[in-house]
Structure formats: C-alpha cells, structure tokens
Structure 1
C-alpha cells in the first residue's frame, strides 16, 4: 500500500512541478503525493518568518500536525542583487494590492512581474544579477523536521519571454543561457531550477525517513 505524503501548497502549478521533480523517488518509495487542496484538514499558514527556510518549516510542521501525514513544504522566491535581495520572501506578494481584490494567481503573478521590471527598468544589463532560491522541508507527525536549500543564479531579462513556467520565470535567464525559464521545457527547467535543486538535495532524507 502506498504511503501518503502531502505537499503544503494549493498552487496547482507548484503541485504539478513538484510531482514531476519527485517522480523517480515517488516510484522508488511507492509514495502517493497529494496537494494540500485535496485535504479538508489542511490549514492556512501565514508566512510570518523572514527566511525561506523559516516559512517552509512553518508550513510543513503545521500541515504534518493537522493531517497526521508526512508533509513537504517549500518557500521560494527571487533575490535581485540591485534590490538588496528583494523581493525575497515577499516574492509572491511583491505587488501588494496592485493586482486588485479577488485577483487570480495569474493576475497576481503578472502584477508582481510588472512591478519588478518597472523597478529595475533603468538598471544596466551588467547589474541585473538575480537568483532563484528555494528552501524545502520535510516534517513528520512525530515532530522530526529536516530542511535544505537550493538556488540557481541568473539575471533579469528586460521583458517577459516564453509560455511555460509561472511567477517570475518569464524574466529570469539562468547563467550560461539566453533563454528565460519560461522558454524551457518542464524537463529542462526541473534539471536546473532552484526547486529541483532543493528537492534533489532533500531526496536522501526522504529515503531515510519514508523508505
């Protein structure tokens, strides 16, 4: 019988991405991976910490306690060098209320992206360095918690390009390439992304805890 693991997100894009990243491990350990949106008891957890690892830990621990299942959470964002590392942990809500009350996730993502591009519009290409950062945490109902961090370096494009990905993917160009992450296939993105790097680093812990 498959062991259930719950992902601490209701973002369907992220659920899809994490399932693809974890596909080999899911098969190896015979896991059933479900999103928080599929569980009635999944809590809404305010992201009140000031680090990615802190927020991921909050979400994973709360979901493990509420569901009685092993819980995986991540917190990730874009760190722009010229903005002192911002948007950072505020990446998902960088535009504040600019997207409008009741805005969809896609509308919020676009508002965040537009505001960021406006803020760095006058920054020369050589100073548009940025990194995607992701903290990934596994929390078990018995209180054990493990966390890791992954990142990918790159720079900001001047306008969105590409039809794939989500969030800031259309303006992030990984170092050594000319394409944005939104121009990558799912397989290409998962091979280099901050989220892929973080969950690959967490894989040995998952084998130990859930195997």
Structure 2
C-alpha cells in the first residue's frame, strides 16, 4: 500500500505543474492567437517536451478550459448544499456566486480569458460542451431538492440549462463592456428575465 503523504504530495505537484502549463499556454494563445499556436509551441515556451505537455493536457483546449471540469463538480455540490426551502431559481443563481467571485478576484485575467474563448471557435465549442456536461449533475441535484427520485424529471434539466445559459450570456455582456458592467448584476438581470412574465 502506498504512502498517503506521498500521494498527496504527488497530487499537489501535478496540480501545480498543470496550473503553470495552463498559464504559459494562455499567455501564448493571447499573444499569438489560439489557432496559430501549436502544442509544440506551448511545450517549448514552458520548457517541457511535447509528450510532457500531453501528459497533463490532451489538447490545447484543455489547457485553457480544464478547470471547468472541477467547476462543474463544485457547482453541483454547491447546489446540493443550498437551503431546502429555497426555490430552484434562487438556489441556481446562488450556486453561481463562486464563479462571479472568481471573476472579481482577478478581473483582468478573467476578461482576457473570456476574450480568448470568444475569439476562438474551437474554444467556444469546447466551453459549450463542458458546460453541457454539468447538466446531469445539476439536474440531479435539483431533482433531489424537490424530492423526486431518478429518472430525473425534465423540469430540473431545463432549469439547470437555463441557468448555465444565463451565466454564458452575462459573461458575454460583461466581456463586451470591457469589464465595466457588474457581472453579478448582469447575472441577476438574466435570471430575472427568466422568472418575470
């Protein structure tokens, strides 16, 4: 049996290396354009081999959007943790607060990343795919909040998809405003558009 401390140290090191490689990749993509930069270019800029880069990321898109996998898991966990008496729309909206907070922590980097994604068709498609992959867990969390067992009813999936669309639209408007508009207010407005007649 392996040493748990060693496994934890290895995991921490892997996470740090992934973060460093992603940062190098994003900077290179921002400077030279996503489509123009190859995996070999990123590896060279990071001082690693191409095979080392591919051990951490299966594609250029993953280097930019890999964090979205963890965000999807976190969103579902946050939704399950919302108060039981809260309506679905409020619970979904509050579940997205950590995303808003991440944009507020470093608005310059968040804006640059949002622009990079919007300017690259490949990144836009991959981002949509990743957000769509969050739907089953979010729908299940909503379904369980309302006391329904599997199979998940249609309504929770529709609500979860609408909430994610609200996030995408709010980020697009925030990016178009060059970060001048308040992202939380944009998200509130998007949710209000869903819930008001």
The alignment's TM-score, normalised by the length of structure 2, stands at 0.27
When you count helix as a share of all residues, which structure comes out higher?
A: 2
Greater gyration radius: 2
The alignment's TM-score, normalised by the length of structure 1, stands at 0.26
